[in-house]
Structure 1
Amino acid sequence: MKRRYWVYLFLFLLTVVNYVDRVALSIASTQISKEFLLSPVKLGYLFSSFLWLFAVALIPMGLLVDRFGTKRLNAWGIGFWSLATALTAFTGGFISLLITRLLMGLGESTTYPAGGRVIREWAPAAERGIATSIFQAGSLLGPAVGAIGLGYVVTAYGWRAGFLVAASLGFIWLAAWLIWFKQPEDANWLSESERTYIVAARNTVGTSNSLEPKRLGLAGLVRSRTIWAIAFTQGCAVYATYLFLTWMPNYLQAEKGMSITRSGLFTAVPYAGAAILGVLIGTCSDRYLRGKDIAGGSRRAVVAVCLLMSALILLVPGANELWLVILLLTLSLTGCTAAVASNLSLINDMLPSKKDSGTAIAMISVGGNGFGLMAPIATGYVVSMTHSYQAGFVITGILALTAVAGTLLLTRRPITATQPAGDVCTTRNA
């Protein structure tokens, strides 16, 4: 077995825990809204609130990752957000719930900058699609596990118990991370041949004789139009993921008349299906890209196809059969989450130096979550005004189609500080 896959498993479980904690409020929302008399608009703000500090902290966390390393930042992040999740169980109303969600978001802001840099440090360039897909698959299995497991806990023991169970998973992961994770150069459980291969092949240039390119730094990255274009397409994809994450259980309960337990099961189906299909897409994308110009951004075609799949949510308002609704939701969820994963790989493909990886991923995550934090709020207003979720699905589909054009037209230049029009080889030859 390739032992670097244990690191991919670590990242997978990190996002599993991350998204179990995120979906906990959605699963418990019916009980919480009844206990605290929360309107759909207030519930929408609560669903969105963990993204407020999350989005603000992303770039600072990316800079900290690039300065202090992935082991420290992942450890601090999951410890902090797990504590915030546990404290949610002791809240007494809207304001205290809001505070704990804000704190949870602050802790979770380490996940993607640190996880993305771990992939740049551990994954050979030709394997980056499957590595990122495994990482992203945790964001799908997490809600599936949360929907079923926390659905049962909330039904049997109340919503406060659900948050305590979710928090305990984070502390277990933290202990394992501190014990076993190291850089490939230092991991004594890694064979010498595999260590040599990882270090030689993790840069897109892909040879052991290649020098590490000079880092661009935050100022250089900010001047890259390609970074901002990827951030825009990431935003459209993340908008869809947060619509699913925050409102799907409530949609199934309100419009399909399901109980908390049954809605948890039917929420889990799209997430489980999307987790499997997402890894398959990552594997196929690596095969598709063999022999192609990875550093030149060939992966943008994969991103565009995934976004087209996400736009299938436009068909949900016209679907009457439950099986068809679940199928369309599964395919759309697969598309948006696979697009997110492919964008993370695209950044690492086009980035000259791994030393900029945490910051660059934080930048596109700011774009992603800037859109994402609007999804729960906008949908809350739509539901409040129309008493239906249909317009929310249409908005999401239109954004996905817009992102297809964005990724095909606006991500064609290499990531450099100035990106002169004629300099198309700078990154490839760095």
Structure 2
Amino acid sequence: MLFSLAMINYIDRVTLSFAAAPIAREFGLSPVTLGYLFSSFLWTYTIFLIPVGMLVDRFGAKRVAGFGLALWSAATAATGIAWSFPSLLATRLLMGAGEATSNPAGARVVREWIPASERGVTNAIFNSGSYAGPAICALAAGPIMAALGWPALFFTAGGIGLVWLLCWVTWFARPEDAAWLGEQERQKILSERGARKADFDTSAPKTGLLGLLRKGPTLWGLALTQGCNVYCQYLFLTWLPSYLQNEKGLAFAKTGFYAAVPYAIAVALCIIVGRISDRLLKGDTGGGRRRNMIAFAMLLAAIILFAPLVDSVWVILGLIAISLTGVASTTSLNFALLNDLIRKPQDVGVAMGFLVVGGNVFGLMAPIVTGYVVAETGHFDRAFMIAGLLLVVGATSILTLTRRALGETSDASALAPQHAATSA
């Protein structure tokens, strides 16, 4: 369910990118205007993340995720009947507000359902949906638009979300309440999602966002790392089709296939990296050792710095696939590290909201900055250089700023190796 939630979320995000050419022609949009339109859903998405995180902590994942998906699916479908730039902008803003529910609710589900030793691969599966979505949309967008026009792409994407919502309302429950869950597995989940009873004592008082931020630079460091990573992600997410068409001369009909290849590779490799992280840690999640893997993944993603030196389309796609694998792995491992370091499950929603806000403050700038770069230079070289340098900054941030746990009085001791088994 989490994989498909992220997949639908990102299908709805990238529909505009794949429909950009006919929409730009119909409404007379320049690269700069397109950049603002690509970025617009992130404005409301970012504004609502922390309030939505608070709602998840208060009302639970099921209701908040269900409401959010209904809202963003309706907004996506409404994009198909837009008649002007302002109406396009309005539907994207509404979609962004609904999509703000996805990551905070997903983080709470992972914390409630997944033993600590399996969080790496679970977050990788959840996050890989955000790369499967663009891959599927890349393959389907061209035929749908060729047969039925660009509005049909948005109607289809919105309809898929409503099918997911029916499944979510029917089957999802907390492990304590899920009637379909075997008792042996239920007890394993309840006993291993937090090694200490206090780690999952939902009656304990919340630390709260301000309390978490006062615990040192850890949450700030996680958010900065997420920001540097998400900038690169949204550069690809919004501009990759246009880059392949305008810079590499690919025909519109071929763009979808070529754009799908690096995303499909990233889906598989991201899950493999998540599994490797769990096996290397061997359940020792308390020391924050996952940060070393995050730094490696970000430096791997920074290979995009070499893109301006390459002319071959297939080599470029290889570099993008490697970079997307690093970006995808960073996101899933960063989410897992947050859950490793945070003590109280009732703080997860708001902490995840803050982390994703940090990511999207950078992410919302990527389409706009890239639009100006392309308008000024006529090329994407400088855009790739900016993204690569930010990835190096993010690797430095995760290694230096995330050394303390979140939500305990004695944070420094909480990360000592002898206490590793007590963290969740």
Matched, 1:265 2:278: no
Which segment drifts farther, 405-414 or 48-57? Answer: 405-414
Q: Deviations over 1:305-350 (max 9, x none)?
A: 1101110100111111111100000000110111011100000000
Residue 334 (structure 2) aligns with: 343
CA–CA distance in structure 1, aligned partners of residues 209 and 260 of structure 2: 39
Shift of 1:190: 0.7
Amino acid corresponding to residue 228 of structure 2 in structure 1: C
Normalising by structure 2, we get a TM-score of 0.95
Residue 130 (structure 2) aligns with: 139
CA–CA distance in structure 2, aligned partners of residues 244 and 254 of structure 1: 14
Residue 5 (structure 1) aligns with: none
CA contact (8 A) 1:223 1:418 kept: no
Q: For residues 85-104 of structure 1, what are the structure 2 equivalents within 5 Å?
A: 85-104=76-95
CA–CA distance in structure 1, aligned partners of residues 151 and 422 of structure 2: 55
Q: Which of 403, 408, 417 does residue 399 from structure 2 map onto?
A: 408
Which SS does the other structure have where 2:218 is aligned?
helix
Q: Which of 265, 277, 280 does residue 285 from structure 1 map onto?
A: 277
CA–CA distance in structure 2, aligned partners of residues 255 and 95 of structure 1: 29
CA contact (8 A) 2:125 2:271 kept: yes
Matched, 1:49 2:40: yes
CA–CA distance in structure 2, aligned partners of residues 153 and 419 of structure 1: 57
Which SS does the other structure have where 2:19 is aligned?
helix
Residue 170 (structure 1) aligns with: 161
Q: Deviations over 1:215-236 (max 9, x none)?
A: 3122212323200110000000
CA–CA distance in structure 2, aligned partners of residues 35 and 248 of structure 1: 21
Q: Which of 247, 259, 264 does residue 255 from structure 1 map onto?
A: 247
Relative distance call for 1:420 and 1:351 in structure 2 (3 A) is closer
Amino acid corresponding to residue 406 of structure 1 in structure 2: S
Residue 3 (structure 1) aligns with: none
Residue 361 (structure 2) aligns with: 370
Residue 18 (structure 1) aligns with: 9
CA–CA distance in structure 1, aligned partners of residues 187 and 413 of structure 2: 36
Residue 107 (structure 1) aligns with: 98
Residue 243 (structure 1) aligns with: 235
Shift of 1:427: 9.0
Relative distance call for 1:356 and 1:257 in structure 2 (3 A) is same
Q: Deviations over 1:39-82 (max 9, x none)?
A: 00000000000000000000000000000000000100000000
Residue 196 (structure 1) aligns with: 187
Shift of 1:420: 6.8
Amino acid corresponding to residue 248 of structure 1 in structure 2: L
Residue 6 (structure 1) aligns with: none
What residue ranges of structure 1 are gaps of 5+ in the alignment? 1-9
Residue 346 (structure 2) aligns with: 355
CA–CA distance in structure 2, aligned partners of residues 376 and 61 of structure 1: 24
Shift of 1:130: 0.6
Relative distance call for 1:429 and 1:130 in structure 2 (3 A) is closer
Shift of 1:429: 5.2
Amino acid corresponding to residue 255 of structure 1 in structure 2: E
Which segment drifts farther, 343-352 or 216-225? Answer: 216-225
Which SS does the other structure have where 1:215 is aligned?
coil
Residue 30 (structure 1) aligns with: 21
Residue 60 (structure 2) aligns with: 69
Amino acid corresponding to residue 262 of structure 1 in structure 2: K
Residue 4 (structure 1) aligns with: none
CA contact (8 A) 1:199 1:208 kept: no
Shift of 1:29: 0.1
Normalising by structure 1, we get a TM-score of 0.94
Which SS does the other structure have where 1:414 is aligned?
coil
What residue ranges of structure 2 are gaps of 5+ in the alignment? none
Shift of 1:422: 6.9
Residue 299 (structure 1) aligns with: 290
Relative distance call for 1:247 and 1:414 in structure 2 (3 A) is same
Which SS does the other structure have where 2:404 is aligned?
coil
Amino acid corresponding to residue 105 of structure 1 in structure 2: G
Relative distance call for 1:221 and 1:273 in structure 2 (3 A) is same
Quote the sequence identity (%): 47
Relative distance call for 1:427 and 1:223 in structure 2 (3 A) is farther
Query: What count of residue pairs does the alignment treat as equivalent?
Result: 418
Q: Deviations over 1:348-389 (max 9, x none)?
A: 000101111111100100000000000000000000000001
Matched, 1:276 2:268: yes
Amino acid corresponding to residue 370 of structure 1 in structure 2: V
Relative distance call for 1:69 and 1:272 in structure 2 (3 A) is same
Matched, 1:309 2:300: yes
Relative distance call for 1:350 and 1:272 in structure 2 (3 A) is same
CA–CA distance in structure 2, aligned partners of residues 160 and 32 of structure 1: 9
Residue 225 (structure 2) aligns with: 233
Shift of 1:156: 2.2
Relative distance call for 1:377 and 1:303 in structure 2 (3 A) is same
Residue 128 (structure 1) aligns with: 119
